[in-house]
Amino acid sequence: MANLATPVFSEGSVPELSDETLAGFSAIVGNENVLTGKADRYAYSRDRMPYGLFKLRADSLPGTLPGAIVSPRDADEVQAVVDYARQRKLRLIPFGAGSGVLGGTVPLVDEVMVDLKRLNRIVDLNTVDGTVTVQAGMNGMQFEQELAQRGFTAGHLPQSIAMSTVGGWVACRGAGQASSRYGKIEDMVLGLKAVLPNGKKVEVRPVARRAVGPSIKDLFVGSEGVLGFITEVTLRVWRQPEYATPLVLAFRTIESGFQALREVMQSELRPEVIRLYDEKESAQRTEGMLEFADRPILCIMKFSGKEQLATVERDMSLAICRKHDAVLAGLAPYEHWEATRFHSYSTKWQSDGHYMDTIEVTGTWTHLLDMYTAMRVAAQAIHPEMHFGAHWSHIYPEGACQYMTVRLPPMPEQDAILLHQQAWDTIERLCLEMGGSVAHHHGAGLFRNPWVRVELNEGLNMLQILKDGLDPDNLINPGKLALRQPTGSTWQMKESA
């Protein structure tokens, strides 16, 4: 199995693009939409990957500076940029808002960033079919607010909604906080348009279903830009729920919580939100609440939709939870979550010099409790002051997403980097050994390359063949999704069997 060791980085200056090359981009998108200043290139040199922040704090970078930033206004300009770059063998990276946490947009060999945020409007809202067509660069929060003004929701509400784009959701195969009711992004996408690495446009028409061979749509959902530029997507939309009602419950053990949540989902009930916290994460949210004195495990649920249906689902779910020895608790934890659901908790700790990261995996009910226990014990054994907490917030009939926070105290950067990577490798190895998936909704990016190779096995070769056919020169976001690194890459993962 792959073993993660220290990445090796090439330091030094990044060659700037020639005036002639830049003039060619300017002729396509306008001079004001080509950025070449060092400050701009520095700002686009990383996403929100914690490892990138650790390098930044040490006056370094996870990769290189990009050669430039180009911002097309529509699909035709995207196509022209791709054609121009292909003719000159220039590498490109699709860029939404940079909210990814695994290095999916990190430049490795001074690639040109293609910022899609000018593709930022709703094209059509079809209230008969219940669909919305939107350009890929539209900000997620603005998109949802515009839908809400017209009485609709897409139901995709990730914590990063205010700092992500609709196209980014699709490219990274994301999941929102209401996934138990509305599904994940792959359940919402009906059709899309994209520009391929060879400069050709492809369209998947938005229909309820098709049987015309393997799903081209699903090649792009989760492709993280390696197969081209998503420029437009058509999603399902729903009427804004007319009614919502929450539950806060206290369980004695994680195991009883798992049993209750499994029964809720296997009973075909669909809460909008369903969240279970381990004892450490529960304690942060229930301090002073008597209900949690002998039942230390917090569970939050929210039911929405038609009032009659939501009430029935709530009552049936409550009965199931009570059967597993849960008791009702005050609504304060739910109200706090609702008020802060789109806030990031990492800023405080990172600003204080800690080394914090989150790891989300998917496990089956058969293995989930053992997976949690093994990962917690292994992570805490890495360092005596290692923080480890977990919650489960995407729940399925077959299992759940386990979302873990690991945090090391301030220490020398070189020591922290090694321990941070050890934590990742330990947790992802255990996930693979227990039959899980190494990524639930954060995607693969760059940082997960070693474990993605193991999970996909021969499937990765299939993806590489497809990539080579569309992009024989490896020009579009090379080195991501565990695919072949570009020549001269500064990211050299040392792996051994």
Interatomic CA distance for residues 248 and 330, integer angstroms: 6
Please report, to the nearest 10 degrees, the dihedral formed by the alpha carbons of residues 250, 256, 257, 260 taken in order.
-110
Domain locations along the chain: 122-239, 243-340, 346-454
What is the reported pLDDT for 344? Answer: 82
Q: Which amino acid is at 479?
A: G
| Distinct helix (H) and strand (E) counts, the chain | 18, 18
DSSP state, residue 8? B
Contacts for 331 with CB less than 8 Å, ≥ 6 apart: 246, 248
Q: How many CB atoms lie within 10 A of CB 5?
A: 16
228 annotated as belonging to a binding site for a ligand:
yes
What is the reported pLDDT for 347? Answer: 79
What's this model's pTM, rounded to 2 decimal places?
Answer: 0.94
Kindly provide the residue ranges of all beta strands, DSSP E only, lying in 353-447, ordered along the sequence. 355-364, 387-395, 399-408
| Fold held by 122-239 | 3.30.465
Contacts for 69 with CB less than 8 Å, ≥ 6 apart: 34, 35, 36, 40, 41, 44, 95, 112, 113, 115
Residue (of 286, 311, 306) closest to 296 by Cα position: 286
Question: Is the Cα torsion angle 414, 41, 162, 363 positive or negative in sign?
Answer: negative
Do the domains spanning 243-340 and 346-454 agree at the CATH topology level? no
| CA distance to 137, 333, 334, 440, per residue, from 358 (Å) | 26, 21, 22, 12
Per CATH, the number for 243-340 is 3.30.70.3450
Q: Is 201 helix (H, G, I), strand (E, B) or coil?
A: strand
Kindly provide the residue ranges of all beta strands, DSSP E only, lying in 343-386, ordered along the sequence. 355-364
225 annotated as belonging to a binding site for a ligand:
yes
227 annotated as belonging to a binding site for a ligand:
yes
235 annotated as belonging to a binding site for a ligand:
no
Q: Which residue shows structure tokens 């906080």?
A: 177
What is the reported pLDDT for 15? Answer: 61
Out of 182, 334, 355, 403, pick the active-site residue: 403
128 annotated as belonging to a binding site for a ligand:
no
| CA distance to 256, 257, 316, per residue, from 299 (Å) | 11, 8, 16
Instruction: Answer yes or no: 403 catalytic.
Output: yes
Helix ranges (H only) for 208-253 are 216-220
What is the reported pLDDT for 3? Answer: 43
224 annotated as belonging to a binding site for a ligand:
yes
pLDDT (tens digit, 0 to 9) for every residue of the chain, 497 residues total? 444 434 444 444 456 799 999 999 999 999 999 999 999 999 999 999 999 999 999 999 999 999 999 999 999 999 999 999 999 999 999 999 999 999 999 999 999 999 999 999 999 999 999 999 999 999 999 999 999 999 999 999 999 999 999 999 999 999 999 999 999 999 999 999 999 999 999 999 999 999 999 999 999 999 999 999 999 999 999 999 999 999 999 999 999 999 999 999 999 999 999 999 999 999 999 999 999 999 999 999 999 999 999 999 999 999 999 999 999 999 999 999 999 999 887 778 888 899 999 999 999 999 999 999 999 999 999 999 999 999 999 999 999 999 999 999 999 999 999 999 999 999 999 999 999 999 999 999 999 999 999 999 999 999 999 999 999 999 999 999 999 999 999 785 433 32
Q: If you compute the radius of gyration of the chain from its CA atoms, what whole number of angstroms results?
A: 23
Per CATH, the number for 346-454 is 3.30.300.330
Q: Which amino acid is at 421?
A: Q
Q: How many CB atoms lie within 10 A of CB 439?
A: 24
What is the reported pLDDT for 496? Answer: 34
438 annotated as belonging to a binding site for a ligand:
no
What is the reported pLDDT for 494? Answer: 38
What is the reported pLDDT for 490? Answer: 75
428 by Cβ neighbours in 10 Å (0-12 / 13-18 / 19+) ranks as buried
85 by Cβ neighbours in 10 Å (0-12 / 13-18 / 19+) ranks as buried
